Amino acid sequence: TPLSHIRNFSIVAHIDHGKSTLADRLIQMTDTVAERDMKEQLLDSMDIERERGITIKANTVRIDFTAEDGQQYVLNLIDTPGHVDFSYEVSRSMRAVEGSLLVVDSTQGVEAQTLANVYQAIDANHELIPVLNKIDLPASDLDRVAEQIEEVIGIDASGAIPVSAKTGQGIREVLEAIVAHLPAPKGDRDAPLKAMLVDSKYDPYLGVVVLVRIMDGVMKKGDRIHMLQTGATYNVDRIGVFRPAMTVVDELGPGEIGFITASIKQVRDTKVGDTITHDRRRCETALPGFKPSVPVVFCGLFPVDSAEFESLRDAIEKLALNDASFSYEMENSAALGFGFRCGFLGLLHLEVIRDRIEREYDIELITTAPSVVYHIFMKDGSMKELHNPADMPDLTYVDHIEEPRIKATILVPDEYLGDVLKLCQDRRGIQMDLTYAGSRAMAVYDLPLNEVVFDFYDRLKSVTKGYASFDYEIMGYRRDFLVKMSVLVNDEPVDALSMMVHRDRAEMRGRAMCEKLKDLIPRHMFKIPIQAAIGGKVIARETLSAMRKDVTAKCYGGDVTRKKKLLEKQKAGKKKMRQFGKVEIPQQAFISALKMD
Ligand code: GDP
Ligand code: MG
């Protein structure tokens, strides 16, 4: 296909504004898929994506379209994930295309993820086509939403296309606009091969499938290719395009998007953003690389039933095959037994992985409280990354601690603004910006990530009755007065319950934890102190009083079988107990105390 007849684009939208439905209509309207193969949300393939209505892995499809001018065009759509946790995937796929459809639900308006995603598109120099969706609904307000796009995003929305992705109204106009307004890709067919490694995924039958965008040159089956960043060399054994089913083609030329397979063993061997060239005739310069994705939230995953540890290992290894941004290492906790310390891009990423393990591998999990990565600056000048509060070094060697901060953007109807500002203030937030568009406010806050990983999102939803939208990006690290709070049960430290907190909030957190544990630990024959401490200093304390009577006392020694039965029952119950010194703590207490609810 000549370059002038190719258009590459992605769709940016807030969750639920209709991105997947619109993609379906574009595919359907152009007969890319036979009617009988059409099912809803064609591009969202994972079960969990369908259920939660989010797109996790970027997908791509090639559409043939005959425009009004009578010419045949090839349109390549890369579907990008809509959520901030996956923003590294958004930014990489954005750089493989020249334009974006900006989809806004005309009954809702611009939301936080709309902004986050549209800024990525603008960063990638995209031409934007605003699309106002859901015009079939009575609440649709085209003028208000177009005005909002101009005010909040600052782009011209006079040519915005009103559509209903549900009924198909306006879809033809969108296709024509893509051809008319988006620039054709540039590239030189005769230059040395230069292709971008956009994405890769593990397929059980084909091995690693690599999504590529050709910049210059031509790639064919059998070519010996060289990856500039990793230095690896492979033979291309399959080359094709997604329609959206994988379809083999003879070659891919400049401006084209497709896939290759090349006997690559694991997804980790493919560096997203790498430049692919021919081994014999290499291109001179590499494409600008992508920022590597770094895990920012860590937590422990333990099997509820310790016999399932090997199955958990198997599940985690399989998931990691397809997700280079998910990291893990074995962890042994006195309270929870053997498990894994896992790193995630954010909370949603954590939730998605945890759900997939529970659902696809049928393993019940204990998830420890999520913790962010702290930078511990030692007195000897070195810096340690702390992934697990239990590993906090002795304070006498520590000079200071830095924590990650985020820039949070919150859009909320006016009447809830007061509650939102208070919530941000309570979480050590610093206001960076506050603006209004119509009856909605946009608050931008500098917040510590550690205050957000607990329950910020849930609190935000509840104080705004679900009307606020929220998005964030990591800004960097800043020094603050952070301490490790340990929990002691009967004077024994319980590692799985220790956490990093800000000094000013430690008492509050400590008191809450002790109160919770007091209800969760059963009474023993003796008094049990439950304490929260910083270093050697106790900051909160509860006492679990002793049991009054022996459980067997009421048997009067007479009924031996009843006594036996009772003791047996106690024994069975003990299996699910963990011993801490003289105290037995039921597994369930850890689950409840650490639960992120
Ligand atoms: P995404 O999260 O942006 O991919 O959004 P989806 O495509 O999954 O759509 C979210 C919800 O809105 C689904 O229930 C769709 O059926 C619905 N939806 C999408 N487009 C329209 C539309 O034009 N009109 C109506 N009434 N509903 C729509
Ligand atoms: Mg979707």
Place of tokens 């015009």: 135
Span 331-345, pLDDT tens digits? 888 777 899 999 987
Quick one: pLDDT at residue 258?
94
Closest atom, ligand 1, to C-alpha of 21? 7
Quick one: pLDDT at residue 169?
96
**Residue 52 Cβ contacting ligand 1 at under 6 Å:** no
Residue 597 or 578, more confident: 578
Quick one: pLDDT at residue 40?
59
Quick one: pLDDT at residue 596?
42
Largest CA distance in the chain: 99
- How confident is the prediction for the chain on average, in pLDDT? 85
CA of 14, nearest ligand number = 1
Confidence of residue 390 (pLDDT cuts 50, 70, 90): confident
CA of 81, nearest ligand number = 2
Span 249-258, pLDDT tens digits? 999 999 999 9
**Residue 443 Cβ contacting ligand 1 at under 6 Å:** no
Residue 257 CA to ligand 2 center (angstroms) comes to 21
Is 17 in contact with 84 (CB distance < 8 Å)?
A: no
Q: Which of 22-36, 112-126, 186-200 has the lowest mean pLDDT?
A: 22-36
Alpha helix (H) ranges present in 156-308? Answer: 171-181
Residue 16 CA to ligand 1 center (angstroms) comes to 6
What global pTM score does this model have? 0.72
Confidence of residue 65 (pLDDT cuts 50, 70, 90): very high
Is the per-residue pLDDT at 368 higher than 90?
Answer: no
Residue 274 CA to ligand 2 center (angstroms) comes to 27
Residue 348 CA to ligand 2 center (angstroms) comes to 15
Closest atom, ligand 1, to C-alpha of 19? 3
Quick one: pLDDT at residue 144?
94
Quick one: pLDDT at residue 558?
52
Closest atom, ligand 1, to C-alpha of 17? 3
User: Known binder of ligand: residue 18?
Assistant: yes
**Residue 18 Cβ contacting ligand 1 at under 6 Å:** yes
Q: Which of 4-8, 39-43, 443-447 has the lowest mean pLDDT?
A: 39-43
Residue 16 CA to ligand 2 center (angstroms) comes to 7
CA of 21, nearest ligand number = 1
Among the listed residues 324, 75, 69, the one whose alpha carbon sits nearest the alpha carbon of residue 185: 75
User: Known binder of ligand: residue 450?
Assistant: no
Among the listed residues 573, 518, 525, 520, the one whose alpha carbon sits nearest the alpha carbon of residue 549: 525
**Residue 50 Cβ contacting ligand 1 at under 6 Å:** no
User: Known binder of ligand: residue 136?
Assistant: yes
Closest atom, ligand 1, to C-alpha of 165? 23
Residue 52 CA to ligand 2 center (angstroms) comes to 9
**Residue 483 Cβ contacting ligand 1 at under 6 Å:** no
Quick one: pLDDT at residue 576?
57
**Residue 200 Cβ contacting ligand 1 at under 6 Å:** no
Quick one: pLDDT at residue 595?
52
**Residue 164 Cβ contacting ligand 1 at under 6 Å:** yes
Is the per-residue pLDDT at 55 higher than 50?
Answer: no
Alpha-carbon Rg for the chain, nearest whole angstrom, is: 28
Is 105 in contact with 130 (CB distance < 8 Å)?
A: no
Span 479-501, pLDDT tens digits? 999 999 999 999 988 887 888 99
Percent pLDDT > 90 in the chain is 47
Closest atom, ligand 1, to C-alpha of 137? 26
For 77, the enclosing helix (H) or strand (E) is strand 72-79
User: Known binder of ligand: residue 465?
Assistant: no
Residue 593 CB neighbour total at 10 angstroms? 22
Is 159 in contact with 128 (CB distance < 8 Å)?
A: no
Residue 21 CA to ligand 1 center (angstroms) comes to 6
Is the per-residue pLDDT at 47 higher than 90?
Answer: no
Quick one: pLDDT at residue 382?
96
Burial 328-366 (b: 16+ CB within 10 A, else e): beebebebbbebbbbbbbbbbbbbbbbebbeeebebebb
Angle formed at CA 547 by CA 543 and CA 551, multiple of 5 degrees: 155
Average pLDDT, stretch 418-443?
Answer: 91
| Terminal alpha carbon distance of the chain | 53
Residue 246 or 537, more confident: 537
Is the per-residue pLDDT at 347 higher than 90?
Answer: no
User: Known binder of ligand: residue 16?
Assistant: yes
Is the per-residue pLDDT at 124 higher than 90?
Answer: no
Is the per-residue pLDDT at 587 higher than 60?
Answer: yes
Is the per-residue pLDDT at 48 higher than 60?
Answer: no
Whole-angstrom Cα distance, residue 220 to residue 106?
A: 44
- For a mutational test of ligand 1's pocket, the pick from 114, 136, 166, i.e. the residue with the most ligand atoms closer than 8 A to its C-beta, is 166
Average pLDDT, stretch 70-91?
Answer: 76
- For a mutational test of ligand 1's pocket, the pick from 21, 86, 171, 348, i.e. the residue with the most ligand atoms closer than 8 A to its C-beta, is 21
Strands, E, within 480-558: which ranges?
Answer: 482-489, 492-493, 499-502, 528-534, 537-544
Average pLDDT, stretch 123-136?
Answer: 95
Whole-angstrom Cα distance, residue 322 to residue 267?
A: 6
Quick one: pLDDT at residue 53?
44
**Range from 346-350, 426-430, 439-443 that averages highest in pLDDT:** 426-430
Average pLDDT, stretch 412-420?
Answer: 93
Span 222-236, pLDDT tens digits? 999 999 988 899 999
Is the per-residue pLDDT at 93 higher than 90?
Answer: no
Residue 123 CA to ligand 1 center (angstroms) comes to 27
Angle formed at CA 335 by CA 334 and CA 341, multiple of 5 degrees: 80
Residue 187 or 596, more confident: 187
Burial 470-485 (b: 16+ CB within 10 A, else e): bbbebeeeeebebbbb
Whole-angstrom Cα distance, residue 112 to residue 411?
A: 6
Quick one: pLDDT at residue 120?
83
Span 263-306, pLDDT tens digits? 888 777 888 788 999 999 999 898 876 656 678 788 889 998 88
Residue 19 CA to ligand 2 center (angstroms) comes to 6
Quick one: pLDDT at residue 581?
77
| The token pair that represents 574 in the structure block | 């003990």
Quick one: pLDDT at residue 183?
97
Is the per-residue pLDDT at 261 higher than 60?
Answer: yes
CA of 49, nearest ligand number = 2
**Residue 108 Cβ contacting ligand 1 at under 6 Å:** no
Is the per-residue pLDDT at 86 higher than 70?
Answer: no
